[in-house]
Amino acid sequence: MKTYLDCLPCFVEQALRASRIATDDDKLIKQVLDDVGDMIKEIPMENTPAESGILIYGKIREITGVADPYREIKQQHIAEAKALYPELEKMVAESDDSLLTAIRLAIAGNVIDLGINKTFDIVADVKRILKQDFGIFDYEAFKTKLNAAENILYIGDNAGESVFDKILIRQLKRRVKYAVRSQPIINDATMEDALSSGLDEVAELIESGSIAPGTILNRCTPEFIRIYRNVDMVISKGQGNYEGLSDEKRSIFFMLKAKCPVIARHLGVKEGDIVLKGINL
């Protein structure tokens, strides 16, 4: 997915929000906005928005000197999600279709995204998403693919959401490799976050090599690309990974909540819709 004109004001808004988390110094924040403003004309519109995230969040790091502004917030989200975990497991166990409930929960976890959402209420969102209609619902194809698969690459998105992924991975009942970013970027899950989410209990944890808030294959490690090409099934969580992988040639299942108008339009769904979309099936 390319960068759309609507992404440009959003980049400036994200820069403001993230630099406020990194520092209280309005002069530094202003400097970030000045520099991100200058960057608008240099951002290649043919790149994915996630790729530009490297530049924008790199600028915040450079100016504020804070390498991982979301560190504490990520830990907090993981702790909150873990506190919910027994209840979520119970929801899955008591549901008529435990796989589908686990998918819904994994998507509900995707509301934990500080790059785009300013505020969210995990419990309220979980309850809503458990009942919400899907904008795209390729569930039959998902089950067919899953039944034929021995191994799965599950590309994670945000910290906290990672705990919700654990629920789904348990239901997949396959050998799963769970991929995380190789460097902190916004609140995306890193190896440290995956470990504190307890994902090592259900999957083999790997780094994708990505330092973007998404998966841009030509910026990933050869090892990750090899796994991606050879695995039976790929599950990709969230908008950032969709941005990087939406034009790929292999089969992928995307699970996300369409949190911005650009992604919603690209998917052909309404903003706020939940999506289970398979490509190249």
**Dist. CA 186–CA 209, nearest whole Å:** 16
Q: Which stretch binds its own copies (CB under 8 A): 25-33, 54-62, 160-168, 170-178?
A: 25-33
Q: Quick check: 41 binds its own copies (CB under 8 A)?
A: yes
Q: Does 268 bind its own copies (CB under 8 A)?
A: no
44 binds its own copies (CB under 8 A): no
* The only residue of 6, 87, 97, 223 in contact with its own copies, by rule CB under 8 A: 6
Task: Determine, following the binding rule CB under 8 A, whether residue 16 of this chain makes contact with its own copies.
Answer: yes
Residue 183 has φ and ψ, to the nearest 5°, of: -155, 145
User: For 46, how many CA atoms within 13 A lie in the half-sphere containing its CB?
Assistant: 0
Q: What are phi and psi of 160, to 5 degrees?
A: 100, -60
| Residue nearer to its own copies on the CB measure, 9 or 65 | 9
Q: Any contact of residue 223 with its own copies (CB under 8 A)? A: no
Min CB(241)–its own copies separation in Å: 25
From candidates 1, 2, 5, 85, binder to its own copies by CB under 8 A: 5
Contact status: 58 vs its own copies (CB under 8 A): no
Residue written as token pair 């951002």: 43
Residue 94's φ and ψ, nearest 5 degrees, are -90, -5
DSSP 237: E
Token pair recorded at residue 16: 């403001």
CA–CA distance, 29 with 252 (Å, rounded to integer): 38
Q: Where in 76-135 is the site for its own copies (CB under 8 A)?
A: none
CA distance 10 to 15: 8
Which stretches of the chain bind its own copies, using CB under 8 A?
5-6, 8-9, 12-13, 15-16, 26, 29-30, 33-34, 36-41, 45
